[in-house]
Amino acid sequence: MNKLHLALIAVSLSSSAYAAVPLEACDSPSFQEVLNASGETLDARAVWLDRRLVRWPGAAQDGAFRLYHSPTGAIVAKPGSKVAGAAGYLALNVSGTAVPSAVATRFKYVAPGATLAVNDADLARLPELHRGQLVLVQEGADGVVIAATRLQSAGALDDLYAAAQNIPDLGATPGARQTGFKLWAPTARQVALCTYDSATGKAGAVQQMALEPNTGAWSASVPRDLSGTYYKYAVDVVVDGAGLVRNMVTDPYSVSLNADSKRSYVADLDAANLKPQGWDATRAPDTVKAQTDMAIYELHVRDFSLIDGTVPEAKRGKYGAFSETNSNGMKHLRALAKAGLTDIHLLPVYDIGSIPELGCALPQPSGAPDGETQQALIRKTAHTDCFNWGYDPQHFNAVEGSYASDPQDGARRIVEFRQMVMDLHNAGLRVGTDVVYNHTFIAGQNEKSILDRVVPGYYHRLNATGGIESSTCCFNTATENTMMAKLMIDSSVLWTRHYKIDSFRFDLMGHQPRSAMERLQREVDRAAGRHVQLIGEGWNFGEVADGARFVQASQLSLNGSGIGTFSDRARDAVRGGSPGDSGETVLRQQGYINGLVYDPNRFGGGRQHSDLLKAADLIRVGLAGSVRAFPMQTFDGQTRRLESIVYGGNQPAGYAREPGEAVNYVENHDNQTLYDINVLKLPVNTSAAERARVQVLGMAINAFSQGVAYYHAGIDTLRSKSLDRNSFNSGDWFNRLDWTYQDNFFGTGLPPADDNAKDWPLFKPLLANAALKPAPADIAFARDAFRDLLQIRASTTLLRLRTSDDIVKRLRFFNTGPGQVPTVLAASIDGRGYPGARFGSLTYLVNVDKAARTVKEETLRGKRLRLHPVHTAKSAADKRAAQARYDSASGTFTIPARTAVVFVAD
């Protein structure tokens, strides 16, 4: 080692002594300060496999490899020149040994190339060097750069700081005598803690934090209880293209914040002042004994009460609305709970980055039913108004402030959220929430980028050049990395333990490893002292598709885990087409309930009889819980297990090992509502009353399906979003709910242009057609029919069978095969000896046709079947169902047009 190299090492080591962060930095109006600028930007094509090994895809193994380092981000490495600005380098050699199997499996997606190794003598220096800039250079014999790249760091950081996954107290931990703070930031040069007595006042103190070398976490302790105060961190870290930057950043483990997430809030979530009266004693209703018992209503906090005139104005759109027990909205929820609904699933309620918590815009649209003015105004304020679905996470562990009465007060949102949970419990409902750990709202050096400004390049999934993957829509997180998985699991535990969340719905869960989700399941169960139900979107796409990086938490990969995934099999067959359809295809691809073959619209005349039969079979797959083992006669007369029926060209139609792993739905927040999709697909001359009946058919198929039943709020009131296919940022106007049951908001203007303009020519005549808008009587019919369906489902475990074996043994479809009446779904379930069955047998039939249909089943001849008691009650909504007939002598059922009916036997 030459003298120059020794001198460079000395400079590098001495550079770790920084001037302390001054108090005035805590009050800087800027969220970042460049301490040492660097204009050099490099791709990150090389990947740390562990603390010692590096893979450089595509790199030849000749030349010299050097790992240059700089504590200030000053390296310039241009091909054809020598490296400048470095404080030193480590020589790397081509590895002569095999990559360890676990490491090779984790990084199987990394393309071939030179695999390099750090010398054993240099390994001890790596933690310090990771706290600066690292550039890997391939040089010629003359020291001139042939190629240069940054390195993706997750493999090294996970290896070096494996102990970090066991840190129990990340974030702020207040106690009677002291308050501790801990932040995982292993690549930071230094970290300081800024504390504030109030949400908006100046900083009272700044304290340098100490690095824990075995975990990579920085910690500080203040010798008093800081509960009720605020804080943030000053993190000095090297950022590619910027240099050494001081980031003023909130805590990734924040449990609350002030308005618009400017400061983190110090809170002991077990403190008495953060608990509404009765919080410790509140318990969820004991309505879910097995996952298949779940009947879920997906609800947005703001939508729920925003236009409910029976809620005080100050509480509309807020958590506090759920305390108004006599409001129209709460009466609606109590009625659903009484009928058999078990769970409310709230759209995201963590801290949302895209909703201004103070001074958000409140546009007041108006215009013709097919007008453009409404959407033009909504688009103008889309990024500044009070509405968003909430799939824009900023802080995963903190309650969203825009739904609180005072977002500036970090305590208020905690108390009011807990009160909302209690209010829903008192209404007879469990509380679940939609969680979005697969992406962040923003990344890089943006002010609202939290994770990336603490540990640049670690928390997100990177592509081959070091850019952030965005297949989920936004900035994909890397839950395969230890500390991102830990954040997801710790966050879920927090919501379970401190907010008594009963179940979770994971957005784009297929982008997460199955192993991480199984660990999460164990941890939330432990936190709750019982089983917490997990369901999610198991779609298989993007850079992780088909197990490209890990075994996914996706439909086909989760079977046997007990974690549920949404099933698109029956969904698409019921609705028609697929969510991505546009143009005339939307109208042409009619579904089973809205006229496929038997009632073609003006574009639907070219469909084949076999299309209807295939659609009926796919719906039967859903009715059987999508379980792999169930045998069923298909339209061609063959009997196949559901896993042998092909769906979507190359997937098994039956994908679940157990019914609780399938979530059945025909409408949720995504895509057009069921009412709107039926507007597009039913013949235009279909009456409003018949449209309501078609809506009920969709709800009935869901209610009769084995597995988890999932419904979008308003499906029972014919909810329309004026044909909007993606209302995530369409404002309050296109997302309203009317609990007076007078309006479903169809025909309130053309939906926003961004996602819909290409279809406006098709939409305009429909929106302008007043005959397509339901009357209050139609809304009331669908509302009451839905409650009847919930009662029927809740009345017997036969519609909620516990296991795949139960389904195979007890469920039997009839009216199947090539000779079937194709518009009638029919099945019988044996209830003899089954716990909770209440009936010796249950038979359901769904006739989607415009005319009455008759089907015959020889095996039921002589049986004494009667209509389910819900159908014969004076309060029954669907009087047509009571006209259904069963002739025991011949085993013949006659089912009225567009009717779903259930028969039972003792």
DSSP string, 158-215: HHHTGGGGG-S--EEEE-SS-EEEEEE-TTEEEEEEEEESSSSSPEEEEEE-EEETTT
Average pLDDT over residues 819-839: 98
Give the model confidence (pLDDT) of 434-449 as tens digits. Answer: 999 999 999 999 999 9
At residue 88, the pLDDT reads 97
d(CA 688, CA 778): 7
Mean pLDDT of the chain: 96
Give the model confidence (pLDDT) of 407-417 as tens digits. Answer: 999 999 999 99
At residue 4, the pLDDT reads 34
d(CA 135, CA 645): 52
d(CA 732, CA 361): 11
At residue 459, the pLDDT reads 98
Give the model confidence (pLDDT) of 343-393 as tens digits. Answer: 999 999 999 999 999 999 999 999 999 999 999 999 999 999 999 999 999
Average pLDDT over residues 642-652: 94
Per-residue pLDDT at 6 exceeds 50: no
Under the banding of pLDDT at 50, 70 and 90, the label for residue 16 is: very low
Least confident window among 601-605, 619-623, 705-709: 601-605
At residue 332, the pLDDT reads 98
At residue 874, the pLDDT reads 96
Give the model confidence (pLDDT) of 740-755 as tens digits. Answer: 999 999 999 999 999 9
d(CA 466, CA 158): 17
Give the model confidence (pLDDT) of 54-81 as tens digits. Answer: 999 999 988 899 999 999 999 999 999 9
For the purposes of burial, counting CB atoms within 10 Å of the CB of 629, is it exposed (0-12), middle (13-18) or buried (19 or more)?
A: middle
Active site residue 537: yes
Contact 159, 130 (CB under 8 A): no
The Cα diameter of the chain in Å comes to 104
Helix (H/G/I), strand (E/B), else coil: 827: strand
- Read off the pTM: 0.96
Backbone torsion region of residue 725, taken as left when φ is above 0, otherwise alpha when ψ lies between -120 and 50, otherwise beta: alpha
* 293 phi and psi angles, rounded to 5 deg: -75, -15
**DSSP H or E run through 433:** strand 430-435
Length in residues, the chain: 906
**Closest Cα partner for 320 from 244, 412, 390, 238?**
412
d(CA 234, CA 231): 10
CB atoms within 10 A of CB 585: 12
Per-residue pLDDT at 669 exceeds 90: yes
For the residues of 464-485, what is the DSSP string, one character each?
TTSPBP-TTSSEEB-TTSHHHH
Place of tokens 């982008």: 511
Per-residue pLDDT at 5 exceeds 60: no
Under the banding of pLDDT at 50, 70 and 90, the label for residue 524 is: very high
At residue 39, the pLDDT reads 74
**DSSP H or E run through 524:** helix 514-528
Contact 92, 118 (CB under 8 A): yes
Hey, what are 390's tokens? 């909430």
Q: Which alpha helices (DSSP H) does 734-855 contain, by range?
A: 753-756, 760-767, 776-794, 804-810
Report strand pairing: 430-435 vs 503-506. Answer: parallel
Residue type, 139: E
- Distance set, CA 608 to CA 590, 597, 764, 855 (Å): 12, 7, 29, 22
Per-residue pLDDT at 396 exceeds 50: yes
**DSSP H or E run through 897:** none
Hey, what are 747's tokens? 């025909």
At residue 710, the pLDDT reads 98
Average pLDDT over residues 666-691: 98
Report strand pairing: 210-212 vs 203-208. Answer: unpaired
In eight-state DSSP terms, residue 656 is B
Give the model confidence (pLDDT) of 440-474 as tens digits. Answer: 999 999 999 999 999 999 999 999 999 999 999 99
Per-residue pLDDT at 1 exceeds 50: no
Under the banding of pLDDT at 50, 70 and 90, the label for residue 605 is: confident
Average pLDDT over residues 526-551: 98
Helix (H/G/I), strand (E/B), else coil: 437: coil
Report strand pairing: 145-149 vs 151-152. Answer: unpaired
Per-residue pLDDT at 509 exceeds 90: yes
At residue 720, the pLDDT reads 98
First vs last C-alpha separation in the chain: 91
Report strand pairing: 88-94 vs 145-149. Answer: unpaired
d(CA 851, CA 895): 9
Cα atoms in the 13 Å half-sphere on the side-chain side of 300: 25
Helix (H/G/I), strand (E/B), else coil: 184: strand
Q: Which alpha helices (DSSP H) does 427-513 contain, by range?
A: 451-454, 482-499
Catalytic residue of the set 240, 343, 537, 788: 537
- Cβ neighbours of residue 827 closer than 8 Å, sequence gap 6 or more: 620, 623, 704, 811, 812, 813, 814, 843, 844
Average pLDDT over residues 840-864: 97
Catalytic residue of the set 158, 293, 357, 507: 507
At residue 309, the pLDDT reads 98
Give the model confidence (pLDDT) of 296-318 as tens digits. Answer: 999 999 999 999 999 999 999 99
**Closest Cα partner for 569 from 708, 680, 444, 663?**
663
At residue 308, the pLDDT reads 98
**Closest Cα partner for 145 from 99, 208, 85, 215?**
85
Under the banding of pLDDT at 50, 70 and 90, the label for residue 863 is: very high
**Closest Cα partner for 725 from 540, 580, 574?**
580
* 16 phi and psi angles, rounded to 5 deg: -75, -10
Q: Calculate what percentage of the chain has a pLDDT beyond 90.
A: 96
d(CA 283, CA 274): 17
Backbone torsion region of residue 747, taken as left when φ is above 0, otherwise alpha when ψ lies between -120 and 50, otherwise beta: left
Per-residue pLDDT at 225 exceeds 50: yes
